[in-house]
Chain A
Amino acid sequence: MTEGATKYKRVSGEAVEYEVFARKTRAEPLHQVGSVVAPDDDLAAAYARATYDEERWVEMTIVRKDHVIALWSPGES
């Protein structure tokens, strides 16, 4: 990164993690394809679309990771 880029700081809040879900056909369910880190929903949508564009998805959606309610985790069931 250049000096101009590294000294630049976002001021719109702390970046948070978003999970990215997508599917290739209407017949299959959405599944997790990865995650992105962004300071707001708009940028997370742009990042998800840019990062996970290797397939011709019919649907893509993002969810803030801290909005996911875990019922139990590995080892707790």
Chain B
Amino acid sequence: MTEISNLVLSIADNKQLLGLRYAEWATRAPSLEADIAAAAMGLDDLGHSRVLYGCLEPLGEDPRGADRESDPASLRALPYFDEPWTSWAQFVAANAILDTAFTVMIEACVNGSVEVLQHRLRKMLMEERYHFLHGRSWLRSGIEKGPLDEAWKEAMEWFGPAAGDTAALHKSGALSMGPAELRSRLEERLDTKAPKLDLDWKRWDPRRRRSRPGAIDDLTFGMLRGLEEKRFAPATAQKQG
């Protein structure tokens, strides 16, 4: 179950970071409705990450090590989430392409042969329907090419190489789709083709499912570990803790 556990942890870490980045835009989106949608989608994805982390134990293997407390590069999120987004176009590209890529992978898990994933992940697909509508609508309104190309590239890398782990999981039946099917499904859902991509699999890190080095910013990493909360906690509470 190592391969499927690693994949589930990757989905969980990415959804956690996606949720945090969405939430950062809850007061900065172009309209009040978009603010509220950003907050709601952030909460959804943070919730999804909790469910996914909870699947690791029943899967029989939890790949999380002690280094997650000290090394931001131990998290398995994509480079797209390393730094807070500075433009609405980055939000839209993540919402339309990466969020949908994660949903397509969850579809592959729900329709695969691993029972715990079949049952626990199904509800996410219903909630993700609204993320998809939101992302697709904003995507159709037109955004800059840079964030779009980056999101497509990272989505394709995240699906994995033609003969990699997701292909093996598809062959074994654990996933209902392999890399080629995942890509086709993503293109079908977004009603568009991926741009021409130059993927360098030699530099690809199969553990983090990315080729670019780096990690999330210190502030976000501190927040994930609860350090930011402790900084503002009363002195008495710190002594009790």
Binding site for B on A (CB under 8 A): 1-2, 4-6, 8, 10-12, 36-40, 42-43, 45-47, 49-51, 53
Contacts and interface: CB of A to CB of B under 8 A. Distances in A.
A12 B140 contact: yes
Given A43-B134, A46-B137, 12 more contacts: A1-B28, A1-B30, A5-B88, A8-B88, A10-B141, A11-B142, A12-B137, A43-B133, A47-B134, A50-B40, A50-B130, A51-B36
Contact of A6 (B30, B34, B41): B30
A45 B87 CA distance: 24
Nearest to A47: B33
11 contacts: A5-B29, A10-B141, A12-B141, A43-B137, A47-B34, A47-B37, A47-B134, A50-B39, A50-B40, A50-B41, A53-B40
B183 interface: no
A53 B27 CA distance: 18
B141 A38 contact: no
B136 interface: yes
A36 B133 CA distance: 15
A11 B30 CA distance: 13
Contact of A42 (B29, B36, B86, B136): B136
Q: How large is the interface on B (under 10, 10 to 19, 20 to 34, 35 or more residues)?
A: 20 to 34
B30 A5 contact: yes
Most B CB contacts (10 A, CB to CB) among A40, A42, A43, A46 go to A46
Most B CB contacts (10 A, CB to CB) among A8, A12, A36, A40 go to A8
Contact of B37 (A12, A37, A39, A50): A50
Lowest 10 A-B CB distances belong to which pairs? A50-B40, A46-B134, A43-B137, A42-B133, A47-B33, A50-B37, A42-B137, A12-B141, A46-B133, A46-B130
A43 B33 CA distance: 9
Contacts of A46: 37, 130-131, 133-134, 137
Interface string B218-236: 0000000000000000000
B138 interface: yes
A2 B86 CA distance: 9
Given A8-B88, A43-B133, A50 B36 contact: yes
B28 A49 contact: no
B148 to A, nearest CB: 15
Interface in B119-166: 130-131, 133-134, 136-138, 140-142
